[in-house]
Amino acid sequence: MPKSAVILSIVLVSALLSVSSDVFSAPKKKNPGVGFSDAAVKEAIDNGAGFLWSQQEDNGGWKGHGGERYPTGPGAMAIYALLESGVSPQEPKMMKALKWLEETPEKMVYCLGMRANAWEVANRTTKDKYKEILKSDIARVINSTADGSFHYETGGSPKRGGDNSTSQFGLLAMWAGSLNDVSIRTSAWKMCMDHWMRTQSPEGGWNYRGTGNKPTMTAAGIASMYVCVDNLYAQTFVRKPARAKDFPALMSIQKGVNRLDKTFKSWGGGHGNYYMYGIERVGLACGYKYFNGKDWYKDGATHLLRTQKGDGAWGEVYSTAFSMLFLIRGQHPVLFNKLMYNGDWNNRPRDLASLTRWMSKMYERTLNWQIVDLKMPIRDWHDAPILVITGSKAPAFDDANISKLRNFVLQGGTILSIAESTFSSKPFSDEMRKVYAQMFPDYQLKMLPKGHELYTRDVYYNLPYETLKFEVINNGVRPLVIHTDKDMVARWQGGATGRDALAHFKAATNIARYVAGQLENLRHRGVSYWPGDRGGATSRTIRISRLKHSGNWNPEPMADKALALKMKNRAKVKLEIGDPIGITDLPAAGVKLALMTGTDAVTFSASEKKAFKAFLEGGGTVLIDVAGGNGRYGGTKPFARSILGALKATDMFPGRRNKPRQLAYSSPLYNIEGNTIKAISFRQHTKLMVTEKKYPQISAIMVGDRPAILFSEMDLTAGMVGYPSLLVDGYTPDSAFKLVRNIILYANK
């Protein structure tokens, strides 16, 4: 085959044959100033899609490669990438493209592998319209191998001795089939797995042919092994822990991952976007957030953002499709992080892979999972709302570990701990209860009663209480910890087969919704809601105080820290919030604004009422909000009732009606120069409660001509921390910050 044909033979062989890096030529104009962000990634994907559409021909397809030797290769990749980007199979241009793909004869394994993945994505929203042609493509691929490896062409008698580049794409076709519930015989999976184990080098890598350690082929080998293991051993690890020493296939994967982790470097170096696609497959398969200390997705996305051409392309159609797939599939939101710790944390290595695959199919929204290490900074844990801790033996968490877990929760995260009862779970459960008692001495781990909303359709599914029992630590706003002695991960590992197993998958959905609210609002990989200090100068310093009282006065201890960071980053104000003070200390505190929140009933002594009144009449302002909001299920929180009762008391301001009145939207508080609030937004489920969906619901008691007491039944506190939640009724985090920002500035004008 001529060298040019090799380069064009769908694309991928170029990097594998050590072709020069100018095959993946740099763009004419780079964008070195573009940094990683959600918005930048979305724009890059949209621009890439625009380029792919611009290359579509009148017949609905795209030009083939190598003359017409690979007729559907680039088109299949373009269709796959566009569908993954969110284009509907019913969109007219896409319907024409799929019709072209279906009607164009194809025999090359590279192309059939990409076609199969395009069919699988299209089938998600078309009631399996393309399942029969998917089955046909997969059968053609499988029937072409005699030893688990694949050659370029299908047809004729089964062959041996194919190369690993083509073999990866043969297995990609089988993987697409497994995702679409196509029945594939066990012997085919075993044959493919044996091929990859046979061709692995002693160092753990793979080569194009023979043994070796080519980066592109090492990524292909690891991803291919994961596909085989998922389809061969899912049930095995339900009954016994997945110790690598007991399973040669797991040892093979671990050697490969160790090799990749040791040798992974920054992007570029001539491997091209095909290599990025391989890394993305490995990263999503194994759940690792880092390779060789680098956040592979964030680094790769940053590289792509800076190398995209002005027309949206990254080279040819195939290279652009690979780049888009990296950005798209890596950007899918992360629902669960699994904690790696010094213990038996990974007895069921495919538990979350199986669970998120089921949830993705059920809700037609691709969801990811990750593995995070205790060594990672907490900020890197926050691209998922739930941290899953599993095991059967007692985890050896030291004080520093426990402090880190506590800070993750206080910054808005939730821990889900699951005892693996198949392997004798009592040591794990006993130790986790001790850990939680040390983390949250003011709260107790309590069994949820039968009929609790977590078990009901109020969240999503009705769950069988006797099968699934959860214990929860709640701060009055949200669950900090959810624990169960029921071995849910065994069912996740084995798949949603049978009524009992399905209940555990549904329970995971309820937990996810209970913690995070709408799954549409999840963050993308690499995106954290917890603010980091962006640096830069501040224009002024403002001091405020946090008030202690007789109730649960500090349910979210990190709210003030998050607020201070946001004020510095977004308002250029250095916000100083000293140690919390009692109400009687308020008049002498030397501040103009005090914050007060709570969940439980609060009572005021005579001396506290006197101090409160003196502070207000001396020009001070108090902002009071109901942490978590005032409740959706038929009642008001005790804190709200007690505060309103205290404000109405005649001995606070005798002779006046002290019921808070809604602050007019024309108030100067909302119209501060440079910080005008034009509109606000509520959390998705809170919108159902409010009539004016664009206006603040803050009430005020006036002292003279100014609002001295500002009262919000809608949550502001949880909004300042920034986490998503089903249980919080209030403003979105961005709107909560803007409102509190303006209150701070107005009180200190």
Mind listing the pLDDT tens digit for each residue in 159-188? 999 999 999 999 999 999 999 999 999 999
Strand partners, 595: 546, 623
- Residue 570: the pLDDT is 95
Q: Count Cβ atoms below 10 Å from residue 603 Cβ, excluding itself.
A: 11
- Residue 654: the pLDDT is 64
Contacts of residues 503-509 at CB distance under 8 Å and 24 or more positions apart, as own/partner, are 503/463, 503/464, 503/467, 503/468, 504/467, 504/468, 505/355, 505/358, 505/359, 506/460, 506/461, 506/463, 507/461, 507/463, 507/468, 508/355, 508/359, 509/359, 509/362, 509/460, 509/461
The most distant pair of C-alpha atoms in the chain lies apart, rounded to whole Å, by: 98
Per-residue pLDDT at 10 exceeds 60:
no
**What are the residue ranges of CATH 3.40.50.12140 in the chain?**
336-521, 540-747
Residue 281, classified by CB atoms within 10 Å of its CB into exposed (0-12), middle (13-18) or buried (19+), is buried
Residue with tokens 């997705």: 297
- Residue 217: the pLDDT is 94
Per-residue pLDDT at 474 exceeds 60:
yes
Per-residue pLDDT at 644 exceeds 90:
no
Residues 6+ away with beta carbon under 8 Å from 557: 410
Per-residue pLDDT at 199 exceeds 50:
yes
Question: What is the gyration radius of the CA atoms in the chain, in angstroms?
Answer: 29
The pLDDT of 208-234, averaged and rounded, is: 90
Cα–Cα distance for residue pair 562/566, rounded to 1 Å = 6
Architecture of domain 336-521: 3-Layer(aba) Sandwich (3.40)
Per-residue pLDDT at 31 exceeds 80:
no
Per-residue pLDDT at 555 exceeds 50:
yes
For 145, the 3-state DSSP assignment is strand
For 489, the 3-state DSSP assignment is helix
| 496 pLDDT tier (thresholds 50, 70, 90) | confident
Per-residue pLDDT at 121 exceeds 70:
yes
Per-residue pLDDT at 11 exceeds 70:
no
The pLDDT of 30-48, averaged and rounded, is: 79
Q: Provide the 8-state DSSP code for 421.
A: G
Nearest to 327 by CA among 304, 350, 356: 304
Distances (CA, A) of 57 to 62, 72, 81, 100, 110: 6, 13, 17, 10, 21
| 500 pLDDT tier (thresholds 50, 70, 90) | confident
The pLDDT of 431-446, averaged and rounded, is: 97
Cα–Cα distance for residue pair 683/550, rounded to 1 Å = 29
Chain center to CA of 663: 37
Span of 98-102, 321-325, 438-442, 685-689 with lowest mean pLDDT: 685-689
Q: Count Cβ atoms below 10 Å from residue 487 Cβ, excluding itself.
A: 22
366 versus 656: the higher-pLDDT residue is 366
Q: Count Cβ atoms below 10 Å from residue 505 Cβ, excluding itself.
A: 19
- Residue 16: the pLDDT is 26
- Residue 746: the pLDDT is 97
Nearest to 599 by CA among 649, 546, 550: 550
Per-residue pLDDT at 275 exceeds 90:
no
522 versus 424: the higher-pLDDT residue is 522
The pLDDT of 123-133, averaged and rounded, is: 94
- Residue 316: the pLDDT is 92
The alpha carbon dihedral of 211, 212, 216, 220 has a sign of: positive
Beta strand pairing call for 581-582 and 540-548:
parallel
Per-residue pLDDT at 691 exceeds 80:
no
Q: Count Cβ atoms below 10 Å from residue 585 Cβ, excluding itself.
A: 14
The pLDDT of 129-151, averaged and rounded, is: 97
Q: What percent of the chain has pLDDT over 90?
A: 69
| 283 pLDDT tier (thresholds 50, 70, 90) | confident
- Residue 284: the pLDDT is 85
The pLDDT of 74-83, averaged and rounded, is: 96
Q: Count Cβ atoms below 10 Å from residue 533 Cβ, excluding itself.
A: 9
Q: Give the helix ranges, DSSP H, for 343-388.
A: 351-363
**Whole-model pTM?**
0.88
- Residue 270: the pLDDT is 47
Span of 243-252, 435-444, 603-612 with lowest mean pLDDT: 243-252
The pLDDT of 635-653, averaged and rounded, is: 78
**Residue 738 host element (H or E):** helix 733-747
Residue 251, classified by CB atoms within 10 Å of its CB into exposed (0-12), middle (13-18) or buried (19+), is middle
H, E, C per residue of 429-472: HHHHHHHHHHHCCCCCCEECCCCCHHHCCCCCCCCCCCCCCCEE
Mean pLDDT of the chain: 89
| 737 pLDDT tier (thresholds 50, 70, 90) | very high
Distances (CA, A) of 108 to 17, 141, 550, 661: 18, 9, 74, 72
Per-residue pLDDT at 138 exceeds 70:
yes
**Residue 254 host element (H or E):** helix 248-263
Residue 447, classified by CB atoms within 10 Å of its CB into exposed (0-12), middle (13-18) or buried (19+), is exposed
215 versus 67: the higher-pLDDT residue is 215
- Residue 703: the pLDDT is 87
Query: Which CATH code of 3.40.50.12140, 3.20.20.80, 3.30.390.30, 3.40.50.720 fits the domain covering 540-747?
Result: 3.40.50.12140
Q: Provide the 8-state DSSP code for 26.
A: P
Per-residue pLDDT at 29 exceeds 60:
no
Per-residue pLDDT at 393 exceeds 80:
yes
| 636 pLDDT tier (thresholds 50, 70, 90) | low
**What are the residue ranges of CATH 1.50.10.20 in the chain?**
3-238+245-331
- Residue 27: the pLDDT is 30
Cα–Cα distance for residue pair 402/410, rounded to 1 Å = 12
412 versus 379: the higher-pLDDT residue is 412
Q: Give the helix ranges, DSSP H, for 470-547.
A: 488-494, 499-516
- Residue 289: the pLDDT is 87
Residue with tokens 């969109």: 91
Per-residue pLDDT at 494 exceeds 70:
yes
Span of 50-54, 219-223, 291-295, 411-415 with lowest mean pLDDT: 291-295
- Residue 376: the pLDDT is 87
Cα–Cα distance for residue pair 300/377, rounded to 1 Å = 20
Fold of the 3-238+245-331 domain: Glycosyltransferase (1.50.10)
| 739 pLDDT tier (thresholds 50, 70, 90) | very high
- Residue 259: the pLDDT is 94
Per-residue pLDDT tens over the stretch 590-623? 999 999 999 999 999 999 999 999 999 999 999 9
